[in-house]
A and B are shown apart, each in its own frame.
Chain A
Amino acid sequence: AQKVTQAQTEISVVEKEDVTLDCVYETRDTTYYLFWYKQPPSGELVFLIRRNSFDEQNEISGRYSWNFQKSTSSFNFTITASQVVDSAVYFCALSEEGGADGLTFGKGTHLIIQP
C-alpha cells in the first residue's frame, strides 16, 4: 500500500532563513504523481506543485524549489529566504494509478516563520 512520510512535525525558523521540508513516499506503482500543498489557518488547500514519476527534474518557482529523487523515494521542498507569510502546514501527497486515484497525504509539517 502507498504511504507518505513527513517526519518533521513542526519546524520553526527565523525569517529569511532557508528551510527544507522532507517527504518520503512508498508505492508499488511505476506511474504515480507527487504533490505539495500549503494549508494556511483558513483550512483551504493551496496547490504548490505536481510532479509525475517519470520527471525527475528539479523545479524552481520563485523562492520555492523541489528535489525529486526516485532512488531515495524522496520529494523534498525548500523555501529560500523564508517569510512570515510562509507560515502554514505543508502536506506532501501521492496519487497512484497514474494519478487516477485519490491522494494519500503525509501527516504534514507545521512551518513557523518567526519575524
Chain B
Amino acid sequence: GAVVSQHPSRVICKSGTSVKIECRSLDFQATTMFWYRQFPKQSLMLMATSNEGSKATYEQGVEKDKFLINHASLTLSTLTVTSAHPEDSSFYICSARGRNSYEQYFGPGTRLTVT
C-alpha cells in the first residue's frame, strides 16, 4: 500500500519559536494533502486541505497565519507552526491522496510539545 511519512515524529520547542513538520508521500504522487490536529484524548480535527501548487484551504477557526502550509511538490507538504505557544502542543497528522483517487493514506503523526 501507499506510504506516507512524517518528520519529525516528536519535537519539543520553546514558546515563541517556529517549528516545521514535513509530510511526504513515498511511493505515489499526492495531489491533495490534509492536515489534522488531535489534542490528548480527543478526536482528530481537520485543519486544512492543500492541493499541489495551490494555496491551502483552512477550516473555520484555524489561523492561516499561524499554521503555514506549503504543498510545493507532489510528494511533500509542510506545516509550519509559527510563534508556537503551549496551547499548540498537540499530535499533528497528515494524510495524502493521489490523483483520481479517494483513498487517503495517513502519516504516523508528529507530537509537538511547546514548553
A15-54 residues at the B interface, CB under 8 angstroms: 33, 37, 42-45, 47, 50
B54 contacts A by Cβ under 8 Å: no
* Number of chain A interface residues as a range: 20 to 34
Closest 3 CB pairs of A and B: A99-B102, A102-B46, A102-B34
Tell me how far the C-beta of A92 lies from the nearest C-beta in chain B, rounded to whole angstroms: 10
- A105 lies within 8 A of B43 (CB): yes
30 contacts between A and B (CB under 8 A): A33-B102, A42-B108, A43-B91, A43-B111, A44-B108, A44-B109, A45-B93, A45-B106, A45-B109, A47-B106, A91-B43, A95-B102, A98-B102, A99-B102, A100-B32, A101-B49, A102-B34, A102-B36, A102-B46, A102-B49, A102-B95, A102-B104, A103-B44, A103-B46, A103-B95, A105-B43, A105-B44, A105-B45, A107-B43, A108-B43
**Sample of 12 more A-B contacts, CB < 8 Å, known A103-B36, A103-B44:** A33-B102, A42-B108, A43-B38, A43-B109, A45-B106, A45-B109, A91-B43, A101-B49, A102-B104, A105-B43, A105-B44, A105-B45
Closest to B32 in A: A100
- For chain B, the count of residues having a C-beta within 8 Å of the partner chain is 20
* A101–B48 CA distance with the chains assembled, in angstroms: 10
A interface residues with partner B (beta carbon < 8 Å): 33, 37, 42-45, 47, 50, 91, 95, 98-108
Closest to A37 in B: B106
Secondary structure of the B contact surface, majority rule: strand
- A103 lies within 8 A of B108 (CB): no
* A108–B42 CA distance with the chains assembled, in angstroms: 8
- A103 lies within 8 A of B34 (CB): yes
Tell me how far the C-beta of A104 lies from the nearest C-beta in chain B, rounded to whole angstroms: 7
* A101–B95 CA distance with the chains assembled, in angstroms: 12
Give chain B residues whose Cβ lies under 8 Å from the Cβ of A99: 102
B17-75 residues at the A interface, CB under 8 angstroms: 32, 34, 36, 38, 42-46, 49
